[in-house]
Structure 1
Amino acid sequence: MQKNRSQISRVNNAQGKNFENQIMSACLGYLYEGRACIDKIPEPFGVSKKDQQTGMFKGRFFGNKKAQPDFQGTLKGGKSIIFEAKTTTKDKISLKVLSSHQEALLEKHYQLGAITAVCVGINNDFYFVPYALWRLCKEQWDRQYFTKEDLKEYKVRFNGAVNFLDFVNGNNVEFMKEFVKG
């Protein structure tokens, strides 16, 4: 039996929400440690109708076109950080998963010296990919995706939380030059 598009969409949405929750768990840990204060940016939402008597309302999400990158905050010492979160069950992550608006905002923050990245989940492995590498792939390589092998240097620790500031190789985002404009 083949899944219809709405079933696939629900599964993908649930997977994305789970991934974001795993990232938010790391954000809480970093806040507790005094290492960072990073917040999930709410999805664009608008109220279309409100009942004045009950306070109930109807609304809708505006979709990807106006979406901001998913997370933004500050690391200890004052450095800004902004990143998008994307996950897939496929064996590679397409560069097309970012909207043009998200790319433009990451680019602006990158140009201003913020730590910018895409937090990626590929089949239960997690990576924190510098936006500088993401844009290089798009501009100079002959393909529009990354594989796990391409990203192995940026694989992050996972303990139920996606610890995006801590790489399995022992490096930490705060001390890596490839995350900020040089």
Structure 2
Amino acid sequence: MNLQKNRSQISRVNNAQSQIFENQIIMACMGYINEKRAYIEKTPEPFRVISKNHTTGVFTGRFIKYKNAQPDFKGTIFGGSAICFEAKQTMKDKIKISVLTDYQEEALELHYQLGAVTGICINLNNDFYFVPYSLWRLCKEQWDRQYFTKDDLKEYKVRFNGAVNFLDFVNGNKVEFMKEFVKG
């Protein structure tokens, strides 16, 4: 019973951290809209209605873990480029490439092949990165392993000011001007 409570508590903490991270990305999206630099929206989570009260309009529902969940964010960058990316986080010292579902990976690959800006926005133990999907997809070949460390990703570290500014790298580069984010 105690183990079950511990797992439940860990799950609640992880969910809360994920929500904070996504909100920090959404804050950056709002800033990019104000700058007229990009319009990017969060993809709604799969949700199932359990019951409805037709008189009051109140319903009970739950989020569902869905194997075909789409990447977390999609939109357009100034100039007309599409952007599609997934947000992942871990409090560990490395992030496994297996955190993407097969469907998310397939969706990112299709967007990449069609010329969209594609990536994975990562919170890696409270440091933030926007990793090109073109690099992510080559991890096994390039490093002969199934994960990335902070050292591997240092050139993709993004600015953080309460918002995860995923289009702006700490080295001064901007996503929309970097060739590795689109198939070329």
Q: TM-score, normalised by structure 2?
A: 0.95
Moved over 3 A (4+): 138-141
Q: 1:44–1:66: 8 Å Cα contact kept in structure 2? A: no
Identity of aligned residues (%): 71
Q: Within the alignment, does 1:39 sit opposite 2:38 as a pair?
A: no
Q: Which residue matches 1:98?
A: 100
Q: 1:22–1:160: 8 Å Cα contact kept in structure 2? A: yes
Aligned residue pair count: 182
Q: Which residue matches 1:52?
A: 54
Q: Secondary structure at the match of 1:42?
A: coil
> 1:65 aligned to 61, 64, 67, which one?
67
Distance in 2 between residues matched to 1:44 and 1:138, nearest whole Å = 30
Distance in 1 between residues matched to 2:12 and 2:28, nearest whole Å = 25
Q: Which residue matches 1:108?
A: 110
How far 1:181 sits from its partner (Å)?
0.7
RMSD: 1.4
How far 1:141 sits from its partner (Å)?
3.3
- What amino acid maps onto 2:174 in structure 1? N
Q: Secondary structure at the match of 1:151?
A: helix
| Structure 2 counterparts to residues 16-165 of structure 1, below 5 A | 16-165=18-167
How far 1:177 sits from its partner (Å)?
0.3
- What amino acid maps onto 1:97 in structure 2? V
Q: 1:138–1:144: 8 Å Cα contact kept in structure 2? A: yes
Measured at CA, do residues 92 and 64 of structure 1 come closer, stay the same or move farther in structure 2, by a change above 3 Å?
Answer: farther
How far 1:66 sits from its partner (Å)?
2.3
> 1:180 aligned to 150, 163, 182, which one?
182
Structure 1: stretches of 5+ with no match in the other structure: none
Distance in 2 between residues matched to 1:138 and 1:74, nearest whole Å = 30
Distance in 2 between residues matched to 1:164 and 1:138, nearest whole Å = 24
Structure 2: stretches of 5+ with no match in the other structure: none
How far 1:12 sits from its partner (Å)?
0.6
